[in-house]
Chain A
């Protein structure tokens, strides 16, 4: 390595509730690996971290303007910045962020037009196709935690914490990576402390029913299942987002106290044809500012006309479930990113990473914007 690599970490200027930034321990690692690290003014403030907190463990770190951050060789930010920010990128820069190439063709095109390289965090995969940077565990656990908090309020007498009640019934639709975590999270109320406390008191537990797409489309068994479901979880990955899993009128089959949990985060888009809809039709899309919606929430009035919202239950939905517990989330992402950043820094920059090299080099190679088309074809 001949020159010191510069890394800029930008803040995420999205909803107010988005508080996440990488933690001081991760920044210290980057410096230890040999990089010069720059943080945007105010970095970490959402999590009540000060400049001193970062400088204490990473003395060389410098706080600079947002504009300056985007001129560094590596620009690291968890959620993809807006186009205005991306335009600040130097041609020699490499943006490292959740870029979702397959579902964001316009973004891919825009980044390519800037001439910059990028690494999509969601495309970092190992040799068997498993994501290297992901927090699906938190998607399932944080969503379940909130759903049970709501159920505690809606559950009929004798109440959710009564030893006299029947087992809570959770139905999880979709058994992919998120669904599998959701089964485990639901069986423990999404909250280990609550689980242990209720179990110790002899409160009956949770019975989780998992169903896949070969059953969700069948009206008769679904009616039977939904009629006894306390929490309905959408953890599906639909090949066709224009087709709902639960049509709005099926929601009427659920008990009045039931809670709808949206872990799939598909948005509504009525402009395109056919319109794209959420898996459970008629629930609002939440974010870190608001993720609980009562049946009379004004958010329903703001939903697009192409969506039927007649049947309602309490709904919990969030675009960024892991952001609910920012510190835990960033600790995990930092941990997962460490060996990848070390590889880039020790190699002397992204240009020197060999996509056919060692384990982490291969993972990085698969996530490069410049390699995207090639990899897509390979996956097909």
Chain B
């Protein structure tokens, strides 16, 4: 029943008049993969999704779905289904009507339509809502209906355009889990666009982090989190955000280390992608949860933010602000002094000018 297509974008170029949205864009999505396009607004991710759907024309390049070149095909012939940010439900039809309208127009027999609608409704737990109108539903329910409308199409690829952005935080968390369960159950190919890095980390098999119309990094959530390829990815992914310290690369007795005003952090054990020159301006990044106590870097506690399950301490290392995550029951107060250790294998070094990982 499930087709599970792979998607291939080759050399895509999208432009509106003289404004280029995407240029020479390539991306391969494997069968049954859940890939997330993550990035700030304006990076081109939604446009790319619309192009895959066939709602936007390419100026150059090709789109292949399931081994077929669909570049010139209408959306209905591409074997895709789409879920929108604003749900886009037909307001004057019931839920059942919304879910079955496309199939009815395509000429599917009523019995088949009913079967598909009931299956999808059961999967999404909206069976008791089938005779209601969208105006009578809550945001979360509407989004489930929108997903249901996509499911009944039994598509090869499911496209999600920021589907949870209009929901409040709690509903977002609930539906996130639903979508992940759906993917485990159907093993369908899903392409998901969002600006929320938590959604990306929890849902994706692979994430494509985008900025300024270019893929900054393509990898598993683990890769993206642990070894961000550049400063942008490092700062965009992870909450609370990564700490950044500006400084220079230096050699102390032949050993590589990071030097900033009054501090010297040894870099022995750091896996370099590229070795910088001594004296080069670099930035050091470290996540709050990797900052450890019990070293020889003196820091003063300025403020503590209790966050329920843990607390976030704001310190000053030399004259640099630094945030540090601690368990909720660790006694700490502002004004205290701490000795810090920044383990080299948890560090991330970036070239100060280009932002590339070193």
**Do A and B share a complex?**
no
**Chain A interface residues (CB < 8 Å from chain B):** none
B binding-site residues for A, Cβ under 8 Å? none
